[in-house]
Amino acid sequence: MNILVTGGAGYIGSHTCIALVKAGHSVIIADNLSNSKSKTVMKIMDIVEEGVNFHKIDVTEEVAVEMIFRNYNIDGVIHFAGLKAAGESVEKPIEYYYNNLVSTMVLTKVCQKYGVNRFVFSSSATVYGDNNVPFVENMELLPTTNPYGETKAMSERILTDIANANPLFSVALLRYFNPVGAHESGLIGESPNGIPNNLMPYVTQVAKGKLETLRVFGNDYPTVDGTGVRDYIHVLDLAEGHVAALVNLTKGVHVYNLGTGKGTSVLELVNAFELANGVGIPYEIVERRHGDIASCYADATKAKRELGWVAKRDLITMCRDAWRFEKNYKE
C-alpha cells in the first residue's frame, strides 16, 4: 500500500516508516519539521536502503495536503503530526488546539474527497486520566489535565463521528503508552529540544553527562517503591503495532492500547538502565510533578487478540537502544 505518514520525520513516525517499508509498503512522509530534522529522512533511507518520498508541508494547510493526494495513489494515512508536550500545551492552548485538531480535520476532509478510507491515529493513554490500572479500551475516558490531552480525546471523537457518518471509513485509534528506545542501528531515536520532560531522555542525558542528576518526582505514591509507574514500550514495537493496525483494519472505529501491559517504576527503570549499560545514574528525590498520576499501564490483550500484535522487546533492550542512540547523537 501507499501510506501517507504525517509527522514521519518525528520520533515514532520515523520508526514506523522503517517498519512499513520492511513490511513491503511505500511511504510518503509529510512533515513541517517543526520538531524534527530533514536528515532523519536521509537516515530512514539509509536504514531501509531505498527511497522514501518526503514533502515538507504543514498538514493544517488543505491545499498542500491535497497536492499529495493528487500526486500519489494514497491507500491509507497514519497521522502522527502534532504537538505533544503536555506542560507546554497549558501555556500555548491555541497552538495545541489549532495544530492538533485542524490537522485531523484537514486530513479527513481530503481523505473523504479522494475516497481514502483507511486512517490510523496517534492517540495517547493520557485520555484515560486517573482511571484504575490497567487501562482497558472500553473504560469511560476521564478529563485530562491539559489541552494536549484534550486534543487527543477530541480527535478520537471527531474520527468516531466521521466513521459513524460514513460506513466505508475505517479508523484505528491507537492509545500509546510510554514509547522509549531507538532503532538498533543507533541512527535514529528521540532527540528532544532543550531539557527533556520525559524520563528516558532525561536519564540518557544524565548518563552522557549533559545533565547532572535525575530528579525523581515523588516517592510517596501507592506503588511498589513509591515512585511513579508507567508502561514503557520500545518504539520499534510501537511502530510494528501501527503496521498490524493498518493491515488488519476493517470498517468502523477500532481502539487499541499499544503498551506492554507491564508497569515499571522510575527507580526500576533507573536500575535497569544501569544494569543494561554499566553507567551510574545519580538521582535525588524531589516533590511530585504537578499533573502526574501514580500508575499508568495498559491492558494489552485486545491488540493481541484482534491484531496478533504483542510488544516483544524488554526493558533492558529499551535501555540499551536508548543509550546507544544518545551516545551516537550529535546536535
| Active centre residues (catalytic) | 148
Closer residue to ligand UD1 (CB): 58 or 190:
190
Sheet holding 229-230, edge to edge: 264-265, 229-230, 295-296
Q: Are strands 229-230 and 264-265 parallel, antiparallel or unpaired?
A: antiparallel
Is residue 126 part of the contact set for ligand UD1 (CB under 6 A)? yes
Closest CB to ligand UD1 among residues 230, 262: 230
Nearer to ligand UD1, 169 or 273 (CB): 273
What is the C-alpha to C-alpha distance for residues 256 and 270, in angstroms, rounded to an integer? Answer: 28
Closest listed residue to residue 297, CA positions, set 242, 230, 245, 235: 230
* Torsion angle of C-alpha atoms 147, 221, 174, 84, degrees rounded to 10: 40
Residue nearest to ligand UD1 (CB): 228
Closer to ligand UD1 at the Cβ: 11 or 54? Answer: 11
* Least CB distance to ligand NAD at residue 235 (A): 8
Determine the interface stretch with ligand NAD among 1-9, 89-97, 208-216, 252-260 (rule: CB under 6 A): 1-9
Q: How far apart are CA 169 and CA 152, in angstroms?
A: 19
- Number of neighbours of residue 49 by Cβ within 10 angstroms: 7
Toward ligand NAD, which CB reaches closer, 82 or 261? 82
Q: Does 216 bind ligand UD1 (CB under 6 A)?
A: yes
Hey, CA dihedral for 40, 248, 297, 160, is it positive or negative?
A: positive
- Report how many residues bind ligand NAD under the rule CB under 6 A: 27
Residue at 88: amino acid letter:
E
Length of the chain: 331
- CB of 295: closest distance to ligand UD1 in angstroms? 9
Is residue 44 involved in binding ligand UD1 (CB under 6 A)?
no
Interface pattern 17-46 for ligand NAD (x via CB under 6 A): --------------xxxxxx----------
Indicate which single residue of 292, 308, 316, 327 sits in contact with ligand UD1 (rule: CB under 6 A).
292
Q: Of the listed pieces 50-58, 61-69, 129-137, 191-199, which binds ligand UD1 according to CB under 6 A?
A: 191-199
Q: Which amino acid is at 133?
A: V
- Of 2-10, 69-77, 129-137, 292-300, which part binds ligand NAD (CB under 6 A)? 2-10
Q: Do residues 126 and 86 lie in contact, with contact meaning Cβ atoms separated by under 8 Å?
A: yes
> What would the grid cell of residue 183 be?
532503532
Identify residues 73-112 at the interface with ligand NAD (CB under 6 A).
80-82, 84, 99, 103
The b/e string for 287-318 (b: 16+ C-beta within 10 A; e otherwise) is eeeeeebbbbbbbbebbeeebebebebebebb
User: Using CB under 6 A, which of the segments 74-82, 156-164, 192-200, 318-326 binds ligand UD1?
Assistant: 192-200
Residues that bind ligand NAD (CB under 6 A): 6-7, 9-13, 31-36, 58-60, 80-82, 84, 99, 103, 122, 124, 176, 178-179
